[in-house]
Structure 1
Amino acid sequence: MRVLLSTYGSRGDVEPLVGLAARLRESGAQVRVCAPPDEDFAQRLDHIDVPLVPVGPSARALTVAAPPPSSLPERAAAVIAGQLEAVTAAAEGCDVLVATGMLPAAAGALSVAEKLGIRSVSVTFQQLTLPSPGRPPLAYPGRPFPPEVTDNRVLWGLDAESINALFGAALNTNRASIGLPPVDDVRDYVIGDRPWLATDPVLDPWQQPADLDVVQTGAWILPDRRPLPAGLEAFLAAGAPPVYVGFGSMPMLASQDAAQVAVEAVRAQGRRAVVARGWAGLAPIDDRGDCFVVGEVNQQALFGRVAAVVHHGGAGTTTTATRAGAPQVVVPQTADQPYWAGRVARLGIGVALDGPTPTTESLSAALRTALAPETRVWATAVATMIRTDGAALAAQLLLDAAGR
């Protein structure tokens, strides 16, 4: 069996495919991954001996550049064209294609599968893109919904119109170039009849509406057996558990102020800090010995040994911290991150900060709550409920589909 996994996005879009790819290889399948050509993505895939087929520009460079919302249709056209070129070559001879990542990239990959007659599965790593009468959709940057409209069904209709306006022309122009008919509703095309939701049902419960058949597999996480660096091991052993601070692929906090605020808030609680550089490039604020800076690191191992995790609320980081039983402080920046922050707060396993820019006072107060014994008790209890077989289940579903 040959499987192509296709995405375009940040680390949170690529890392789950690493977990699924590893499970597929264990089952004897041949796997390729189409993803941005960023070095850290290639290294993660190389670790499991899965080839990366590069597509499009560096996701990190594009994110850090922060292009204006008005350029989104133009960028979408380039992403779709890149998908058609790279995915078409990579998908030859494959039995199944799994499409995820930013919506125009998924639309391009699914179009390739349609052209080649390959089975395809559309996957999302957060449910906020799946229409549901129980909640409103996310608005695209630069295209807010009318404030007077509060009916969720109406808002989802406006969401479909917005997506068509942003991506419809680009998708259909590219589809015409490979002899495919136009798509009337881009969102419905990408979601399909039976989308997969690769999130944990405790952390992210899906309320099934009657008109959408969603398969929730659980999160796709690769067990990480990499040892922690010797210097970090020594730092952890030298005192009480520190607080981890890291904002993943979010460059918006790339300032000395962000590191200053975080470290001072941790120190205010009498704790040491482990600071992750991430795409924000966080760096030490002084030469005191109570702060250790890390780059790429085994979060699964580290989060089980810290007092709390301060992060941006990405789906992967939230799931990893929850599985580790670590109390959390979530500083949401954009997209689905406020949703994950809210889930952490509602489960009682941490605190959601109000707003993307914390102060020393607000972060210190949030840490005080997260470090309270009762928060650790709840976090430990919820950790035992999180599924660990999401990637294995997804791999088996793909194998069954290919067998049919």
Structure 2
Amino acid sequence: MRKTYTASTYSNDTLESSRHNTIRASLNDNDWNDSPPPYTLIAGDSNTLTGNDGRVSLDVNSKLARTLSVFIKDRPEQSPPEYQESEIEEFAQPPPLNIVIQIVGSRGDVQPFIALGNELQKSGHRVRLATHDIFRDFVTKPGLEFYPIGGDPNELMSYMVKNPGLIPSMKSMQAGEITKKRAMIREMLEGCWRSCIEPDDATGAPFVADAIVANPPSFAHVHCAQALGIPVHLMFTMPWTATKSFPHPLANIKDNKAEPSIINRLSYAMVEWMTWQGLADVVNGWRETLDLEPVPTTEGPFLAYTQNIPTTYCWSGALVPKPSDWGQHIDVCGFFFRDTPDYKPPQDLQDFLNAGSTPIYIGFGSIVLEDPEKISLIIAEAVRITGVRCVLSKGWAGLSNVSQSPDIFELGDCPHEWLFQHVSAVIHHGGAGTTACGLKNGLPSLVCPFFGDQPFWGEMIHAAGAGPKPIHHKSLSVDNLSEAIRFLTTPEAAEFAHLIAQRMSTESGVQTAVQSFHRNLPRQTIRCDILPHLPAVWTYKTSSKHTIKLSKLAAELLIDRLKIDGKKLGMNELRTYIIENKRWDPITGAASAAIGTTVEGNEDDSRSILSSHQDDADNKSLIATSAEAPNQKKQNQDGKRIAKGFGKAGNTILKGGLIDIPFALAEGLRNAPAMYGDKPRDFGPVIDWKTGGIVAGKGLVFGLYDGISGLVTEPVKGAKKEGALGALKGFGRGLGGMYWKPNAGLAGLLGYTMQGIYKSVYSAIHTGTRKTIAAARREEGILLLAKARGDQSFDLGQIVTAFEEIKKDDCR
């Protein structure tokens, strides 16, 4: 029988003994592979961290919560098609791709993806890891390509320590840190885009991404993927996908009497909503530079969900099993471990390790402390009281052996993979990489969290019996740290940690993650029709209008041999992203479109005025020191900017009245039958004038047909299921369909047609990004062709022959 335990099971200290026995029994159970004790963070549990720990207090009775709860309830469950075993086997080895891995965060966030990158290289992929400039050597030493995206992780860590939650402190706002952070995010968004299409900054080798792997905090991932028409796969170290099993790790939900499963799902929506509200204008402003339309307000927080983005979680399923309500495109694969670095310790470290009892490790990695001396003094005194020996990592925190104790060794840079084989326990900040390395080596662990996923890992370790309750760094004292050290050095703690390590040894996190990535790649569109072992990035229509998918190499050779016109190459979209407001009924659909139009128009006005005020502030010193008076020029510039803003606002309102509101009304009417259990027809997305006309025509024809025929078919369906009562229900559905469906068809004549025309016009005007992508792909194709010519074993003539054969087949 499957055993389950929750964090609340362990919240009472008087139950520690029985708690340990229960966990031990589960860990020793013969069928532990089938029944791991899950970590479940219970909302409102007394054991969860509270206060300034990076979690956001959420009131589930607030207006926002009520609105989002309706949004969640009304959204139908979505999931990609189920994979058949035969399909998975057939697609086990995709063609070699250019993969960019986009990571924002600390060294601990980057390190697991180095392991992933090396494993992807073993499958033949070309891998570029795009992250902060400071990690260049860290990335390139193991053999990965590197691309700098900007951003200072030291500054990011410092900001997060001061503002661990989603809401910044007043002190940070007064110091202008919010403006700096937003500017840094814009810099990183632009850096992430360049990482997809620009040559290697060291070698000059052309590179255009065929797929993206990213952690959610990089933010640019799905937008870059949409611009390129390529797949994106999210990988992360803490839950970011809504589930009924446990709330969002950043959510601290106030006491409530609502159903826990609903509250848990709601917590993800609320955290995502708050994050998006702080970044929406930055992201949408950047999307404009990629020729992408702004993301609607109600869609921004939920893109990973609505776009069915494959997601892999990099933790051990032995500790946090995959929730049952996560789809097949979401995996829990195990921790990512790189190979143990070839490391020889300095003599003084080796002498310390050999001089006495096995020491414990204390270090906070890439965390930047506000008062490192205070924390160093607490550590020194706790080490003295407990009589342990300690390896103290200085890290970015700047910890030091302030007491000059011979039992404390002050450590510089040293790989955890090596060091953790020589210590007995670890005390750290709760970074995923450090947590994983400690558990892998069977080390009891104490987490002193600062922000982000760190409280999550601390609670997880405690719930599994491998460490004491986490101690927030601001609550750290000599007494509680000493007590925690005593717990870490008990045989019981060592036993639990050892059992967890045993279970983790059966997992292959990086290999499983690569399999997950391969399994979720598009099967139908990814291979070149002429060279199936290469990915297709182009499409070419023959005279008979047959579309051929071409790789960079095949296309470039055919252009070189004058078999095709390079100007007629189209983009092969491996993955298409349709980002638009989902409308579930006509009233809220049209109303939200109207509100969105008004809000966007006001925002256009406000941005122009704010931009003018910002320029005023920036030019104060110039005006004060200049002999000339630039006031008149400045006023003219302000007037032009504000006029442009009002013009843009007018265009927004015009678009809303002619396009957005009619389209929202049509979609709302089409989806209205779902309110009473009838499944609406899906006519496909509107992406241009042609598809707009098709959808409008289908909508009208099927609206009239389904509306009339439903009076007969719906009662018959109902009678087959529930007899007379079902027939009566079916008659009600038929009456509803008679009203909604023809009206949806009529509304769609305007709504879908205008939406299609708008999409075509927008695409025709905004061509800069597509031209940039095409030029970059051609440049890489030219290089590949040059290499192929130098390869005596490669017959270029086969490409031309295969192309001619395809053309002949088309003519038959």
* CA distance in 1: counterparts of 2:245 and 2:101, whole angstroms: 31
Q: How many Å apart are 1:298 and its aligned residue?
A: 1.8
Q: Deviations over 1:252-282 (max 9, x none)?
A: 3641111121122122221111011111011
Quote the residue 1:323 is aligned against. Answer: 440
Matches within 5 A, 1:43-54: 43-54=137-148
Q: CA deviation at 1:25?
A: 2.2
Show the 5 A alignment for 1:4-403.
4-38=100-134, 41-64=135-158, 69=168, 71=178, 73-89=182-198, 92-102=207-217, 105-106=218-219, 108-127=220-239, 129-139=240-250, 151-184=263-296, 185-190=299-304, 192-193=307-308, 194-209=310-325, 213-230=329-346, 231-252=348-369, 254-357=371-474, 358-387=476-505, 388-399=507-518
Give me the whole-angstrom Cα distance separating, in 2, the residues matched to 1:206 and 1:45.
Answer: 30
Distance in 1, Cα, partners of 2:254 & 2:494: 41
Measure how far apart 1:307 and its partner are.
1.8
How much has 1:175 moved relative to structure 2?
Answer: 1.5
**Root-mean-square deviation over aligned CA pairs:** 2.6
Aligned-pair CA distance for 1:37: 0.8
Larger CA Rg, structure 1 vs 2: 2
SS at match of 2:473: coil
Where 2:404 maps in the other structure, the secondary structure is coil
Report if aligned partners of 1:269, 1:368 keep a CA contact under 8 Å in 2.
yes
Report the CA distance between 1:42 and its aligned residue. 2.0
Is the Cα–Cα contact under 8 Å of residues 35 and 54 in structure 1 kept in the other structure? yes
Offset at 1:34? Answer: 0.4
Q: Which amino acid aligns with 2:489?
A: L
- State the shift of 1:206 in Å: 2.7
Return 5+ residue gaps in structure 1 as ranges: none
8 Å CA contact 1:6, 1:87 repeated in 2: no
Q: 1:155 to 1:348 in 2, by over 3 A?
A: closer
AA in 2 matched with 1:114: Q
Cα 1:43–1:81 shift into 2, 3 Å? closer
Q: 1:101 Cα shift?
A: 4.7
Q: Distance in 2 between matches of 1:190 and 1:79?
A: 20
Q: Does the aligned pair in 2 maintain the 1:32–1:53 contact within 8 Å?
A: yes
> What is the TM-score of this pair, normalised by structure 2?
0.46
Which stretch of the first structure deviates more once superposed, 157-166 or 49-58? Answer: 157-166
* Ranges in structure 2 where 5+ consecutive residues have no aligned partner: 1-95, 200-205, 524-812
In structure 2, do the counterparts of structure 1 residues 223 and 174 end up closer, same or farther at CA, with 3 Å as the change threshold? same
Contact 2:329 2:520 in 1 (8 A): no
Secondary structure (helix, strand or coil) at the match of 2:361 reads: strand
Normalising by structure 1, report the TM-score: 0.89
Residues 146 and 309 of structure 1: is their aligned pair in 2 closer, same or farther, counting only changes over 3 Å? closer
Residue identity over aligned pairs, in percent, reads 25
- Relative to structure 1, the CA distance from residue 81 to residue 225 in structure 2 (aligned partners, 3 Å threshold; closer, same or farther) is closer
- Partners of 2:447 and 2:362 lie apart in 1 by 10
The one-letter code matched in structure 2 to 1:133 is K
How has the CA–CA distance of structure 1 residues 42 and 199 changed in structure 2, closer, same or farther, with 3 Å as cutoff? Answer: same
Which structure would you say has the larger RCO, counting Cα contacts within 8 Å and 6 or more residues apart?
1
* Partner Cα distance (1:73, 1:148) in 2: 34
Offset at 1:317?
A: 0.8
| 1:86/1:118 CA distance change after superposition, 3 Å | same
Deviation at 1:155, TM superposition (A): 3.3
- Which of 73-82 and 2-11 deviates more? 73-82
